[in-house]
Amino acid sequence: MYKVVIIDDEPIIVEGISRMLPWGDYDCRIVATANDGLEGLDIIRQQHPHIVITDISMPDLDGLTMIAALNTEFPDMEISILTGYRKFEFAQKAINLGVTRYLLKPSCIEELKEAIEIMISNLKGKNILPLNDLKEKSNVNLVDNEASNFIVANAVKYIEQNYSHRLTLSEVAEKTYVSQWHLSKLLNRYVGQSFSEILNGIRIREAKQLLTDPSLRIGDIAEMVGFVDLAHFSRVFKKNVGVSANEYRNSLSSSLTT
């Protein structure tokens, strides 16, 4: 049977969807439920369900990023949103990121039934039968789509905002709701650089700006942009710029006096 996961931080909603719909009539069975978005993501990665019905306005959860993450990892998964969040632009973006149906609470049973029928029809159109487990998208068949671009843009934005501390790939992956492996593949495909190359590029760009201030010591600048020691900063700076930080600063001074 088609596997279904239901996620909502209101237990009564989860209970209602689980009990009030004739899942067996649709060749479906509920394999898990969750009252927390992050827990729900873990369950999805464990169960690989065919269908997910979820809210996206739960505490500690960026709903759009979650949807994009699921779409990039499980492109054949059918997702419907059941939420009280009524902003049109948000709903439009969710659909662009791969949501099949965007339903507003309170939603009637007939609307839910229609959403299920459409999701099952879509699965059959992709030749996914009830006995076939969904597979995660491999690096070989990564394709360009809005969800992937959305994840990459959010990841780069987070790096831009947090480069000055000891940032890790794990932290960025957690904030974009994808695995480290998957995020690494997306960055390489869409940016053409690894996580460390992107991070170091941003840090060196900021360091070059700070080097224009002669009152700042190079060691302090290295720390300000997130490097744990001066030697590492010096190696990365020369690799990226072609000259040492001191030579770069001297060249700025020379250009100002000529």
Give the pLDDT confidence of 88-147 residue by residue, as tens digits: 888 899 999 999 999 998 888 999 999 999 999 999 999 988 777 777 665 634 456 889
CATH code linked to domain 2-125: 3.40.50.2300
Give the pLDDT confidence of 141-159 residue by residue, as tens digits: 445 688 999 999 999 999 9
Give the pLDDT confidence of 180-211 residue by residue, as tens digits: 999 999 999 999 999 999 999 999 999 999 99
Mean pLDDT of 38-48: 92
User: What does the alpha-carbon distance between residue 32 and residue 134 come to, in Å, rounded to a whole number?
Assistant: 16
DSSP designation for 61: -
DSSP designation for 84: S
Mean pLDDT of 27-49: 93
Q: Residue 255 — pLDDT band, cuts 50, 70, 90?
A: low
User: What does the alpha-carbon distance between residue 105 and residue 81 come to, in Å, rounded to a whole number?
Assistant: 10
Are residues 151 and 173 in contact, defined by beta-carbon separation less than 8 angstroms? no
H-helix or E-strand spanning residue 2: strand 2-7
User: What does the alpha-carbon distance between residue 198 and residue 187 come to, in Å, rounded to a whole number?
Assistant: 9
The per-residue pLDDT for 51 is: 96
The ranges assigned to domains in the chain are 2-125, 146-257
Q: Is the pLDDT of residue 85 over 70?
A: yes
The per-residue pLDDT for 216 is: 95
The verdict on domain 146-257 having CATH code 1.10.1740.10 is no
The per-residue pLDDT for 107 is: 85
